[in-house]
Chain A
Amino acid sequence: MRLFLPFCILNLAVETSRFVQTDQGGIILRWLKTYVEKCINCGKCMETCSKTYFKEENPSLSRVVVTNPGAGQNISVCNQCGACMAVCPTEALYRDKNGVVQLDKSKCTSCLMCVGFCPTGNMLYAASKQTEPFKCVACGLCAKVCPTQALVLVND
C-alpha cells in the first residue's frame, strides 16, 4: 500500500477527480460498498456477475471477488478511484455521468496496464473471453442478490 498510495493521490489530484460534478450541481459517485462482516460467502454475487457479463456461472470471471482464505473473509471490488484512467494510453477508460469508471472497448488496445496499476487489484482479464480487461461498472445486480446486504450500491 505504501508504494502506490502517493501515486493514487497524485492521480486523483491531477488527472482523475474521483468526484463528478453533475448537471444539477451535486457531486455523485456510484460505487459498490462492501460490508465484509455481513458476508456469508454464499457466492451468489459472483455467480450473478459472471452470468450477467459472460453468460456463465464462473467465479473467476466475476468482477466482484469474494475470498475466504482461512478465517479471513474478504470482498474485493472496484471503488471507482480512477487510477486506471491515468495510465490508459488511449483514454479508453473514462468516468461516466454517474461517476463510474467505464471502458470504451473501441478505444482499448488491450495493453492491460490498467490491470497492473489498479491499486486494489480489481481490473481483471480473461484471455478466453476477450482481449480487453473488465471491471465493475456498479450495475448493482450483485447487491440485489446478496442475501445479507454485504454489498450495497450507493450514490455518495
Chain B
Amino acid sequence: MEKMKVIAEWTYTPAPIERGYTRKTLYVNVGEPRMEIKDVSQDMIDTFTGGRGFDLKLLWDAVKDTTKWNDPENEIVLSGGPLCGITQYPGAGKCYAAFISPLSGQTYDSNSGGYWGPLSKFSGFDAVEVQGKAEKDIILFINGDEGKIQILESNLKDLNAYAVTETLHEYFAVDEADKRNISVISTGKAAETSYYGCMNMSFYDPRRKVARLKQAGRGGGGSIMRDKKIAAMVVKFSKIGGNLNNVVDLDTLQRVGVKLHKEIHDLDDVQCKMRKVGTAHLNEIMDEYHLLPTNNYKFGQNAAEISKIHSAVYERLFTQGMPDGCWYGCSMSCAKAVDGFTVQTGPCKGEKVTVDGPEYETVASLGSNIGVYDPLWTIEANFYADHYGMDTISLGTAIAFVCECYELGLITKKDTNGLELNFGSKDDIMELIHRMADGKDEFASMVAKGIRYMKKAFAEKFKADAKTMEAIGMEGQGVETSEYVPKESIAQWGGYYLTLKGPQHDEAWLIFMDMVNKQLPTFEDKAEALHYFPNFRTWFSLVGLCKLPWNDVEPANNRIVNEPKEAAKVPEHVQNYVDIFNAVTGKGIRKEDLITMSEKVYNFQRVFQVRMKQGEANHNIPLRALGPVFPDEWEARREYYDGKLREIGIDPSALSTEEKIKKLQEYRLGMWEGLKMAVYKRRGWNKKGIPTVETLKRLGIDYPDVVAVVEKYSKPEDNFD
C-alpha cells in the first residue's frame, strides 16, 4: 500500500506503568483534530477502578444530556483496566469499549479480546477517548514504540474488516515477526447503515500467519466508528515482556496463574472442552434444556436437527491443537477458527479464508434462531458479519424477527424487495446480509437498524400489526436479545431485561440455578442473585479480565467442598481474583470488596442511563420472553405448559390454547412486575429503577452532577417504604 498522508501528528513520552496503571489517558478529537493527555486522579482510580469504569467516567464528562449517538461529542472510549496485559493469568487481555449506542440511545459497554487493550496500555494510556467527526476516512495510529500519535488519511481500498486488518498489520509492521506487536480496530461497510456495527479487535496469529479478529460486537460501536469516518484505529508496541504492568507481587501472580493453567490442562477435556470447541460446546446442552433459540425464540429445541450442529461437528471444523488464546497466557484457548474455508458467495467468493468462530452465540443466532442447521452456512455468515462489521447476535436476532414477520404475512416478498425470508431460507438470507453491506437496498437497511427500528418502520411503511411485532420482537432497551430462551426462568427475565444496557448475557446467566437446580425459589432469592452476579461480573470489566476462566472451568472439588448455591460462585476462583488483583495493585482487597467496587460503577452507569433517557430509562420485556405467544409454541410443550397452569391453580382442560396462553401471560406479567420491584429494592433503587441518593452516598459516588440527575428525575411517591 502507498504511504498514507499524515493529517496530524503529535509526540509524547509514554508514561511508565506502576501497579497496573499509567495514570494517563489519551484524548483524540478526529474532527478538529486535537490531542490531549489527561491525568488520572487517585479518586478516579478509587471510584471507577479502570476499564469500563474509566470509560464511563470519561464518557460522562464528554457528552451532554441530549447527546445522540451520531453527534460529534459522542465518544468511543477504550480501556483495559489495571490487570489488563498481565500474561500470567488466563483471560487478561480484554478491552472494554463504551459509547452512546445507536440502538438504545444510552450508554453501552462492549468488550473484546485481541491485543488492543494491553498494547494501548503499554503505549502509555489507561484509556483512549475518541471524539469528533473526521471529514474523510482516517486511521488513528498510536505508536507506543516511538511515542507518536498520528491521524492518517486512509487510502484503504476495501473498508471491510479482514481486508483492513490484514493490510494494516502489513503496513505498520517492519517484518513478519513484528506483526504480533500490532492491533487493529476495524469495522466494515455494513456499519455505515447498521445500528449494530461491531468493532473487530485484532491479534496476529504467528502459526496461521493471519490476523485474527475478536469482537466488541454489541451495541453499535462500529456504527459510531464509521459515523466518525474512522476506517481503523491501530496501536503498536513491540517490547512485550512478562512484567510490563510492574506488579507488586509477581510471585503470587505466577503461582495463581500456573495453578489455573494446570486446572485447565487437567479438567477442560472432561468439563467444558473450551480448548477444543470454545463456547460451541453449549449447542446440544442448550437444546436439551429447551434453551437453544429456535425460529425467533418460538422454541428452545429442535430434536430433528440438533445433530447437524452438535459441538462434535464444530470440533471437526475447528483446527485442533493450536494455542487459540486471544491474549498471551490464555490457556482456555477458546478463540477457535476454521482454516482454509472456501467462501461460497459475495465479494470474497472463491477465496480461502480463516474464519474466527463461530462461537455458541453465532451458532444459535445465525443458525437455529433463523432455522438454519448448516454449519458451513453459519461459518460463511459469521465471516461476512465480521467482515462487513455487524454484530452476529443482533444480526441473527433481527433476521429471526424478520423471518417470523415474513411467515406471519406481516411483510411480503414485495416489501423485502424480492427475497423469500422464511426460516431456513439460506440463500435469500445470505443475499440480505450482502445487501446490508451494499447499503443501497432500503429493506436491508431497515433490518440493519435493529428490531426496535423495524417494529416502527414495518408498521408505518408496510402496515404490519404493531401489537404482534411488540410481542415477538426480542429486544430490550432497543438491543437484541442474545441467544438463550429465557421463557422458563423468572430469574433470567431479570438476567436479560433488568440489565443496565439490554438483554446481553454478560450480567447474569441464572437459568440453571433457577430453572434446573431450583436454588432461587423466592423473589428475594432471585433479587439477591440479580444483585450479586451482575456486580460480580461487572468486576471483570473494571480490571480487564475475561469472564470465561471464572466458571468455564471449575476446580475438581468445587461441587464437593461447596454447597450447590455457593458452588455456582466458584469460590476458589473468586479468591484467585482477589489474590491477583492484590498482586498487581498492592491493595489489600477482600472478596466482598469486589462487589462494592462494581456497585460503584454499576450504579453510576444506571444513573448515566437515567440521564441520557431523561428519566425514562425503562426496562421492557417482550411477551415472547415470558412464555408462548402462539398456539404452536404451547402445543410443542403442551404437557409442560398445562402443568405450569395447574401449578398456579388454573385448570387447563376446559380452555382453548389461546385462552391458556392468555392466562399464563397475565400471570407471568404479574411475576415480572414482582421481580422488577424486588430487584430494584435490593439494588438500592426506587420503584422507577433510579438509584437513591442514599445508595449514591453509600457507594461514594454522590458527586454533585450525579446527585443532580437522581434528584431531577426521582419523585417521593416512587420511593420504597
Residue numbers of A with Cβ under 8 A of B are 3-4, 7, 10-11, 14-15, 86-91, 108-113, 115-117, 125, 127-128, 131-132
Q: How far is the CB of B181 from chain A (nearest CB, A)?
A: 11
Flag if A109 contacts B321 (CB, 8 Å): no
Answer yes or no: B709 CB below 8 A from chain A CBs: no
Give chain B interface residues in 227-242, CB to chain A under 8 Å.
240-242
Q: How far is the CB of B197 from chain A (nearest CB, A)?
A: 29
Top 3 A-B pairs, shortest CB-CB distance: A116-B261, A110-B242, A131-B242
Q: Which of B88, B207, B331 contacts A110 (CB 8 A)?
A: B88
Flag if B262 contacts A90 (CB, 8 Å): no
Answer yes or no: B270 CB below 8 A from chain A CBs: yes
Docked complex Cα distance between A112 and B330 (Å): 10
Closest to B88 in A: A112
In the bound complex, residues from chain A placing their C-beta under 8 Å from that of B320 are 10, 14
Q: How far is the CB of B563 from chain A (nearest CB, A)?
A: 27
Given A3-B269, A86-B323, A131-B243, are A91 and B250 also a contact pair (CB < 8 Å)?
Answer: no
In the bound complex, residues from chain B placing their C-beta under 8 Å from that of A116 are 257-265, 331
Flag if B321 contacts A15 (CB, 8 Å): yes
In the bound complex, residues from chain A placing their C-beta under 8 Å from that of B331 are 87, 113, 116-117
Given A10-B321, A89-B325, A116-B331, are A109 and B87 also a contact pair (CB < 8 Å)?
Answer: yes
Q: How far is the CB of A80 from chain B (nearest CB, A)?
A: 19
Flag if A109 contacts B240 (CB, 8 Å): yes
Known: A109-B329, A110-B87, A110-B241; 9 extra A-B contacts, CB below 8 A, are A3-B269, A4-B266, A87-B331, A111-B257, A111-B328, A112-B87, A116-B263, A116-B264, A125-B254
Q: How far is the CB of B364 from chain A (nearest CB, A)?
A: 29
Answer yes or no: B180 CB below 8 A from chain A CBs: yes
Docked complex Cα distance between A35 and B251 (Å): 33
Q: Which of A4, A108, A115 contacts B242 (CB 8 A)?
A: A108
Q: Which of B254, B259, B264, B323 contacts A89 (CB 8 A)?
A: B323
Answer yes or no: B33 CB below 8 A from chain A CBs: no
Name 16 interchain pairs, CB-CB below 8 A, sorted by A: A3-B267, A3-B269, A7-B265, A15-B321, A89-B325, A89-B328, A91-B206, A109-B240, A110-B87, A110-B241, A111-B242, A115-B261, A116-B260, A125-B254, A131-B241, A131-B243
In the bound complex, residues from chain B placing their C-beta under 8 Å from that of A109 are 87, 240-242, 328-329
Closest to A89 in B: B323
Docked complex Cα distance between A109 and B86 (Å): 9
Q: How far is the CB of A107 from chain B (nearest CB, A)?
A: 8
Flag if B323 contacts A127 (CB, 8 Å): no
Flag if A3 contacts B270 (CB, 8 Å): yes
In the bound complex, residues from chain B placing their C-beta under 8 Å from that of A117 are 261, 265, 331
Q: How far is the CB of B22 from chain A (nearest CB, A)?
A: 19
Q: How far is the CB of A115 from chain B (nearest CB, A)?
A: 5
Closest to B260 in A: A116
Closest to A124 in B: B258
Given A90-B180, A117-B331, A131-B242, are A111 and B262 also a contact pair (CB < 8 Å)?
Answer: no
Docked complex Cα distance between A145 and B572 (Å): 43
Docked complex Cα distance between A64 and B568 (Å): 40
Flag if A115 contacts B258 (CB, 8 Å): yes
- Render B11-33 as a binary contact track against A, CB cut-off 8 A, 1 for contact: 00000000000000000000000
Q: Which of A3, A15, A110 contacts B243 (CB 8 A)?
A: A110
Docked complex Cα distance between A116 and B267 (Å): 12
Q: Which of A90, A110, A112, A127 contacts B261 (CB 8 A)?
A: A112
In the bound complex, residues from chain A placing their C-beta under 8 Å from that of B207 are 91
In the bound complex, residues from chain A placing their C-beta under 8 Å from that of B180 are 90
Q: Which of B259, B263, B267, B323 contacts A88 (CB 8 A)?
A: B323
Given A91-B207, A127-B254, A131-B242, are A113 and B269 also a contact pair (CB < 8 Å)?
Answer: no
In the bound complex, residues from chain B placing their C-beta under 8 Å from that of A112 are 87-88, 254, 257-258, 261, 329
Closest to A15 in B: B321
Flag if A127 contacts B251 (CB, 8 Å): yes
Closest to A85 in B: B323
Flag if B87 contacts A86 (CB, 8 Å): no
In the bound complex, residues from chain B placing their C-beta under 8 Å from that of A89 are 206, 323, 325, 328-329
In the bound complex, residues from chain B placing their C-beta under 8 Å from that of A111 are 87-88, 242, 257, 328-329
Closest to A110 in B: B242
Closest to B205 in A: A89
Flag if B250 contacts A127 (CB, 8 Å): yes
Flag if B321 contacts A86 (CB, 8 Å): yes
Docked complex Cα distance between A132 and B254 (Å): 10
Closest to A107 in B: B177
- Render B207-234 as a binary contact track against A, CB cut-off 8 A, 1 for contact: 1000000000000000000000000000
Docked complex Cα distance between A15 and B207 (Å): 11
In the bound complex, residues from chain B placing their C-beta under 8 Å from that of A113 are 261, 323, 325, 329, 331
Q: How far is the CB of B91 from chain A (nearest CB, A)?
A: 12
Docked complex Cα distance between A87 and B240 (Å): 18
Flag if A90 contacts B321 (CB, 8 Å): no
Flag if B262 contacts A132 (CB, 8 Å): no
Docked complex Cα distance between A9 and B436 (Å): 46
In the bound complex, residues from chain B placing their C-beta under 8 Å from that of A110 are 87-88, 241-243
Q: How far is the CB of A16 from chain B (nearest CB, A)?
A: 10
Docked complex Cα distance between A3 and B270 (Å): 9
Give chain B interface residues in 249-306, CB to chain A under 8 Å.
250-251, 253-254, 257-267, 269-270
Flag if B266 contacts A3 (CB, 8 Å): yes
Q: How far is the CB of A130 from chain B (nearest CB, A)?
A: 8
Closest to B261 in A: A116
Closest to B206 in A: A91
Docked complex Cα distance between A127 and B538 (Å): 30
Docked complex Cα distance between A14 and B325 (Å): 19
Q: How far is the CB of B169 from chain A (nearest CB, A)?
A: 16
Flag if A128 contacts B251 (CB, 8 Å): yes
Q: How far is the CB of A90 from chain B (nearest CB, A)?
A: 7
Closest to A132 in B: B242
- Render B316-342 as a binary contact track against A, CB cut-off 8 A, 1 for contact: 000011010100110100000000000
Give chain B interface residues in 166-184, CB to chain A under 8 Å.
180
Docked complex Cα distance between A11 and B258 (Å): 20
Docked complex Cα distance between A136 and B264 (Å): 24
Docked complex Cα distance between A15 and B264 (Å): 20
In the bound complex, residues from chain B placing their C-beta under 8 Å from that of A125 are 254, 258
Q: Which one of A15, A86, A109 has the highest number of Cβ atoms from chain B below 10 Å of its Cβ?
A: A109
Q: How far is the CB of B173 from chain A (nearest CB, A)?
A: 15
In the bound complex, residues from chain B placing their C-beta under 8 Å from that of A14 are 320-321
In the bound complex, residues from chain A placing their C-beta under 8 Å from that of B253 are 127
Closest to A113 in B: B331
Q: How far is the CB of A123 from chain B (nearest CB, A)?
A: 9
Q: How far is the CB of A8 from chain B (nearest CB, A)?
A: 11
Docked complex Cα distance between A109 and B243 (Å): 9
Q: How far is the CB of B694 from chain A (nearest CB, A)?
A: 45
Docked complex Cα distance between A86 and B320 (Å): 11
In the bound complex, residues from chain A placing their C-beta under 8 Å from that of B88 are 110-112
In the bound complex, residues from chain A placing their C-beta under 8 Å from that of B261 are 112-113, 115-117
Closest to A3 in B: B266
Docked complex Cα distance between A132 and B206 (Å): 20
In the bound complex, residues from chain A placing their C-beta under 8 Å from that of B258 are 112, 115-116, 125
Docked complex Cα distance between A91 and B209 (Å): 12
Flag if B266 contacts A90 (CB, 8 Å): no
Q: Which one of A11, A89, A117, A132 has the highest number of Cβ atoms from chain B below 10 Å of its Cβ?
A: A89
Docked complex Cα distance between A86 and B265 (Å): 13
In the bound complex, residues from chain A placing their C-beta under 8 Å from that of B329 are 89, 109, 111-113
In the bound complex, residues from chain B placing their C-beta under 8 Å from that of A115 are 258, 261
